[in-house]
Copies of this chain bind each other. A is one copy, B any other.
Amino acid sequence: MGPADTLPVSAGTTSRGAEPDGGADESALTALSELLADDMQACNQAILARMDSPVALIPQLAAHLIAAGGKRLRPLLTLASARLCGYPATPSRDGRTTRHINLAACVEFIHTATLLHDDVVDESQLRRGLASANAVFGNKASVLVGDFLFARSFQLMTEDGSLPVMAILSKASATIAEGEVLQMATQNDLSTSMERYLEVIHGKTAALFAAACRVGAIVAERPDAEEQALDAYGTNLGMAFQLVDDALDYAADQRLLGKTVGDDFREGKITLPVLAAYGAGTEPDRVFWRRVIEDSAQEPDDLDHALDLIGSTAAIATTLQHAAAYAGRAQAALEIFPDSRIRRLLGDIAAYTVSRAR
């Protein structure tokens, strides 16, 4: 899958993970959204207002992704981080109290631009007949509207006027692109190392989570230690999030629930479940993996066989263990802050990120 974006607000699970600690059900996410409902609504309004353009196709296409009402996880992290840091209860030096709203919208624009660009497909993929969200509008429209949102995000940052915020968000944007290019370079390559894989998911997902959180500390004018703590929380949450997303792409029971499984498989994307199953496989298994992933020579029943192989190894468990370790680190990073409802909810979200896959 692309940058992970599959955290359900109202899934049916109530399972609790053994570790990391915390109330690991989806109610944390709902509770946080409710606690920050006014901010979230203001952010939604900012998003709708700022994605407008006299060129009608832009709001039309952007609405397809944005206005349709995503979960807005990343802006929620910016808003929650700002509140955790006491913004705007602590009067800001310049008296403005809506900086977090506009920067949350900015973060969502960067995310949406990457989603649109992630949808762009190559000739080879077209030939394999892959469906894609861009099927509705085409490659070119996805690219150009993504560019518009990306440029608009920089306009929002410029209006905010904080050089540290701009430095963080523009660096995150470059890191996302690097992560996506690296992912493309590792595609179909089963010799990809674990380290390289982690670099990819850091770039494509964790970097923006980290920036989204860190920005919250900056608008509240908190000390560097708190900025860094929120950066660490966001980074580790993002890593956990993407690992779980990658696990869910091979989760056979998700398939039974009618959810999409196998996107990564069809694209020959190198994720931890595949690396783990390949590493633990017999020689015939490895021959299979090389054919379907390295040679992109896939037959209709191959996904089922891949799911069987992944199910018969510890591939998913291994992936989720890594995710749980990152989630634990995300929770630990919050310890610098005094206990509060928001801090507990952010910790619970880290736990839920992992437990949703169990």
- Chain A interface residues toward B at CB < 8 A: 53-58, 113-114, 117, 120-124, 126, 138-141, 143-145, 147-148, 150-152, 154-155, 157-159, 161, 163, 166-167, 170-171, 173-174, 176-178, 180-182, 184-185
- With a cutoff of 8 Å between Cβ atoms, the chain B residues found around residue A185 in the complex are 55-57
Contact, CB under 8 Å: B57 / A144: no
Contact, CB under 8 Å: B138 / A123: yes
Contact, CB under 8 Å: A141 / B55: no
28 contacts between A and B (CB under 8 A): A53-B181, A54-B178, A56-B185, A57-B181, A57-B184, A58-B181, A114-B147, A117-B143, A120-B140, A120-B143, A122-B139, A123-B138, A124-B138, A139-B139, A144-B177, A144-B181, A144-B184, A147-B150, A147-B177, A151-B173, A151-B176, A152-B174, A154-B170, A154-B173, A155-B167, A158-B166, A159-B167, A166-B166
Overall SS of chain A's interface: helix
Instruction: Across the A-B interface, give the 5 residue pairs with the lowest CB-CB distance, nearest first.
Output: A151-B173, A148-B177, A151-B174, A154-B170, A147-B177
Pick from A54, A57, A140, A184 the residue with the most CB of B within 10 Å: A140
Contact, CB under 8 Å: B144 / A117: yes
Contact, CB under 8 Å: B139 / A155: no
Which listed residue (B140, B158, B171, B181) contacts A163, Cβ 8 A?
B158
Q: How far is the CB of A143 from chain B (nearest CB, A)?
A: 5
Q: How far is the CB of A260 from chain B (nearest CB, A)?
A: 20
